[in-house]
Amino acid sequence: MTLAEALLNGLKEHGAAELFGIPGDFALPFFKVIEQSGILPFYTLSHEPGVGFAADASGRCRGSLGVAVVTYGAGAFNMLNSVACAYAEKSPLVVISGAPGISELQGDLLLHHQIKTLGSQYEVMKEFTCDQVLLNDPAKAPEQIARVLRSCLEQSRPVYIEFPRDLVNAPCDPVPLLPSTTAEPQALTDCASEILGRLATAEKPVILAGVEVRRYGLEDKVAELSRRLQLPVATSFMGRGLFSDSDCQLIGSYIGMAGDQSISETVETSDQLLMLGVIVCDSNFGVSAKRLDIRHTINASDQEVKVGYHSYQQLSLTELVDELLNQTEVTNHHASPVKPNYPRNLEADDSSIVPTDIARAVNDLFDRDGPMPIASDIGDCLFTAMDMDNTQLVAPGYYATMGFGVPAGMGLQASTGQRPIILVGDGAFQMTGWELGNCRRYGWDPIVLLFNNSCWGMLATFQPESSFNHLDDWHFANMSASLGGDGVRVQTRAELQAALNMAVATRGRFQLIEIMMTPDARSATLQQFVEAQGRRTGMRKG
Ligand code: TPW
């Protein structure tokens, strides 16, 4: 077997479902093997940020490896922001970059795509990934690739593999599966019993579940734990979409000052808050992290469990949840999830559209036809998603990069086969909306709900006095036909409902619904979020 084949088989055996990429001359030999071997399905897109987001979404929604393959320099650096997003939001993304051949390294001649030195890219990637390897020795490569892929899965963070183009066909052994790293058994037992002891004596214990629960495939186990302990469960903002298929007493998503105040109160007044895999950040907490009293929190994430002010190191969330289950009695107690009061029953009249109407229309659709997964961009579309039924959601809720939604939805459909709803603002659509042009050749048919308020609305909410936040009218719906899909512009609730029904009924082509709204039509959640953020940063008085 060759080094390229060993890498592709290794990726597959470690859980990769497909590859997304854009070639370049430093990557052409590897791309040739990718195509000819057919080891993994392979999709090319148009712009490297989209490649990174699509691969990230694949990894997120399957809790396994997403893979992005790019060329050296221009390709890899073009994708850096997506890698940053995956790092920040703990997504298991494998970045593979073609590179100059070993035989090209001698001599004074600069190579194209080179910045300072030929090692610059590797150094930059060290900062954006949790483990890296330069495949310059086929004898060591199997072990090195195995280590890097294990790091990717165990830490659920991006890793970097640099592949010199003249070693693609070098003979190589298969990539092994390394044993997973495990916690010190006594530390694990003690940690779990300390946690259970604290929960047993608390009056109002609550579980707050975050993204790691999905990343490590722990939804059912955490749901089981909550039933055994009879604890209510809230998800973080980033964890939205968790437990959509699980039986637990889900009370909704905690977004601090920006969200439902009864959920905020339950979480903030809990005298023992068990945070499982939560990214403790401003957006997750609706900028109210200070409201949590550390003495009464248990925070398990990043292979560490902090109990009040002390911590247990090198202990994964998976091991912790398993041990908590070990130490608790099986019950046949059924959960009684609180049915959140999401808006539904859209009045299909001639009124102009506001974001809540879009949530209503989507919830009505789910009531009729069953839930669909959602990929959302950042912007008011994501805050509006908080008013949609709890279905699978991928979104950059913490790193908050624009441009995620469209390619992420495509990655989601590629890897799961499910038809997604994509939520995106006009500003973000200007960045990566063009990737939709790649749907036709792969048979993807996402339904895209484009929130067109003709502005960078979130920014305009922060700073309404600035006219640079206004955007021109690009008539996105008109562009759909040439991109291989169907597009329609809607101005009223009746038109929105009709367009959504038509989109659902039409399979095989992407369906773009360009929803026209006034710049000041925004969700209550966005308004509250911006006000809370403004108070915290002093950007806005309120
Ligand atoms: C890659 C900064 C955050 S929100 C926003 C900007 C420019 C406006 C988004 O406008 P859109 O949605 O998509 O029309 P809406 O609902 O606000 O009207 N560059 C990147 N990422 C971010 N987050 C920014 C800039 C930003």
Q: Would you give per-residue pLDDT tens digits along the chain (542 residues)?
A: 999 999 999 999 999 999 999 999 999 999 999 999 999 999 999 999 999 999 999 999 999 999 999 999 999 999 999 999 999 999 999 999 999 998 887 766 677 777 788 899 999 999 999 999 999 999 999 999 999 999 999 999 999 999 999 999 999 999 999 999 999 999 999 999 999 999 999 999 999 999 999 999 999 999 999 999 999 999 999 999 999 888 899 999 998 888 888 999 999 999 999 999 998 877 777 655 567 788 899 999 999 999 999 999 999 999 999 999 999 998 877 777 777 889 999 999 999 999 999 999 999 999 999 999 999 999 999 999 999 999 999 999 999 999 999 999 999 999 999 999 999 999 999 999 999 999 999 999 999 999 999 999 999 998 999 999 999 999 999 999 999 999 999 999 999 999 999 999 999 999 999 999 999 999 988 888 888 777 777 665 43
Tell me which DSSP letter residue 241 carries. Answer: T
Residue 128: C-alpha distances to residues 81, 84, 95 (Å): 9, 6, 10
What is the residue type of 359?
A
- Do the domains at 3-167 and 185-326 have one common CATH topology? yes
Identity of residue 478 = N
* 453 in a labelled binding site: yes
Enumerate residues lining ligand 1, CB below 6 A.
378-381, 400-403, 425-428, 451, 453, 455-459
Phi, psi values for residue 502, rounded to 5°: -65, -40
Ligand 1, residue 457: give the atom nearest the CA.
Answer: 18
In the reported structure, the alpha carbon of residue 122 is separated from the centroid of ligand 1 by a whole-number distance in angstroms of 30
Closest atom of ligand 1 to CA, residue 381 = 16
CA atoms within 13 A on the CB side of 350: 0
Rounded to the nearest angstrom, the distance between the alpha carbon of 379 and the centre of ligand 1 is 6
Residues 6+ apart with CB under 8 A from 505: none
426 marked ligand binding residue = yes
Q: Which CATH architecture has domain 185-326?
A: 3-Layer(aba) Sandwich (3.40)
**Which phi and psi (to 5°) does residue 408 adopt?**
-65, -40
Does 3.40.50.970 match the CATH number of domain 355-535? yes
Strand ranges inside 378-426, DSSP E: 393-394, 421-425
Environment class of 201 (CB within 10 Å of its CB; exposed 0-12, middle 13-18, buried 19+): exposed
CA–CA dist 29, 25 (Å, integer): 8
Instruction: Measure the CA–CA gap between 374 and 367, rounded to whole angstroms.
Output: 15
Cα distance between residue 197 and residue 200, in whole Å: 5
Vertex 42, ends 482 and 8: CA angle to 5°? 165
Task: Tell how many helices (H) and how many strands (E) occur in the chain.
Answer: 21, 19
**SS3 state at 363:** helix
CB burial of 365-399 (b: ≥16 within 10 Å; e: otherwise) equals bbeeeebbbbbbbbbbbbbbbbbbbbbbbbbbbbb
- Residue-level pLDDT at 111: 73
Please state, in angstroms and rounded to a whole number, the distance separating the CA atoms of residues 54 and 422: 13
pLDDT at residue 115 in the model? 77
CA of 286 to the centre of ligand 1 (A): 18
| pLDDT score of 363 | 97
Q: Domain map of the chain by residue range? A: 3-167, 185-326, 355-535
Q: Class assignment of domain 3-167? A: alpha beta
**Alpha-carbon dihedral of residues 353, 359, 360, 361, nearest 10 degrees?**
80
Give the CB-side neighbour count of residue 204, counting CA atoms within 13 A. Answer: 9
Sheet with 393-394: strands ordered across? 393-394, 374-376, 421-425, 447-452, 511-516, 486-490
Q: Are 432 and 56 within 8 A, CB to CB?
A: no
Residue 185, classified by CB atoms within 10 Å of its CB into exposed (0-12), middle (13-18) or buried (19+), is exposed
Closest approach atom of ligand 1 to CA 424? 13
Ligand 1 centroid vs 456 CA: distance in angstroms?
Answer: 6
